[in-house]
Chains A and B, each alone.
Chain A
Amino acid sequence: QKEVEQDPGPLSVPEGAIVSLNCTYSNSAFQYFMWYRQYSRKGPELLMYTYSSGNKEDGRFTAQVDKSSKYISLFIRDSQPSDSATYLCAFLNDYKLSFGAGTTVTVRA
C-alpha cells in the first residue's frame, strides 16, 4: 500500500463549478497537511496548510482533514480558468514531505 494515494484525475469542469480533490494516507505519523498548486513549468506553490482535523477556509479554497479516516480534501468554489493547474497533496512528518502524484484540473471558460 502506498503511503499517499491521490485521486488521479484529470478533471475538467466548467467555469464556476466546485472542484473536489482528495487524498488518503496510511502513515499515522503525518503531522501537517498541505495542498500545493503547480502550474506548468513552475514549482509547487503552497495553497493550504493545516495540522488539525476539520475545515480551513481561505477565500475560494477549503481544506478538509479527517485524521480518523486518514483522508484530506481540497474544495475550490466558483472555479476560474486561472485555477487550471496540477494540485498536489502533501504530508509533513518531521522535516520530510510526502507528496501525492497530483491531480490535473482544467477549468473551461
Chain B
Amino acid sequence: SAVISQKPSRDICQRGTSLTIQCQVDSQVTMMFWYRQQPGQSLTLIATANQGSEATYESGFVIDKFPISRPNLTFSTLTVSNMSPEDSSIYLCSVADTYDQPQHFGDGTRLSIL
C-alpha cells in the first residue's frame, strides 16, 4: 500500500492562529480524505479532498474553518483556522484508489491549542 507522510507530526499553537498540515503520498491516488480524532473518541470524516476542485465537507465542518487544497494526485493540505482549544485533536489524512477500496492512513498530526 501507499506510504503516507504527514507534516508536522505534532505542534502546539496559540489560540487565534492557523496551522497548515501537509499530506504527501508516494504514489498517485484517486481519493484523499481528512479526519479528526478527538481525545478518547473515534475518527470523524472532515472532508474529501478532490483534485482540481473544491473539497466536499461533511456536516458540521465548513470551508472557512478547514480550508483544503489538493493541487495534484499525491499531495493535499488541511488548514485549521482561527484555532481554539476545542480544535485540540489528532488530524489524519487517508487515501484510497477507488470509492469501494479500504482507506490507508498516515500517522496523524497531534495538535494542541493553548
CA A43 to CA B5, docked complex, whole Å = 11
Report B-chain residues with C-beta under 8 Å of the C-beta of A95.
31, 33, 48, 96, 99
- Tell whether A97 pairs with B103 under 8 Å between CB atoms, given A43-B92, A44-B43: yes
Residues on the A chain within 8 Å of B4, using CB:
43
* B45/A43 in contact, CB under 8 A: no
In contact, B42 and A102 (Cβ under 8 angstroms): yes
By secondary structure, the B interface counts as strand
* Interface set of A (CB-CB < 8 Å, partner B): 31-32, 34, 36, 41-46, 49, 88, 92, 94-97, 99-102
Question: What residues of B have a CB within 8 angstroms of the CB of A99 in the complex?
Answer: 42-43
Tell me the residues in window 48-88 of chain B with beta carbons closer than 8 Å to chain A beta carbons.
48
Given the contacts A99-B42, A101-B41, A92 and B102 also touching, CB distance less than 8 Å: yes
- The complex places the Cα of A89 from the Cα of B100 at a distance, in Å, of 16
Q: Are A43 and B41 neighbours in the complex by a CB distance under 8 Å? A: no
Taking the closest CB of chain B, its distance from the CB of A93, in whole angstroms, is 10
Q: A41-B107, A97-B94 are in contact. List 7 more A-B contacts (CB 8 A).
A: A31-B100, A34-B102, A95-B96, A96-B45, A97-B43, A99-B42, A100-B42
Task: Report Cα–Cα, A96/B107, bound state, in Å.
Answer: 20
Please name 20 pairs of A and B residues whose Cβ atoms are closer than 8 Å in the assembled complex, sorted by A: A31-B100, A41-B110, A42-B107, A42-B108, A43-B105, A43-B107, A44-B43, A44-B92, A46-B1, A46-B102, A46-B103, A88-B42, A88-B43, A94-B99, A95-B33, A97-B45, A97-B103, A99-B43, A100-B42, A102-B42
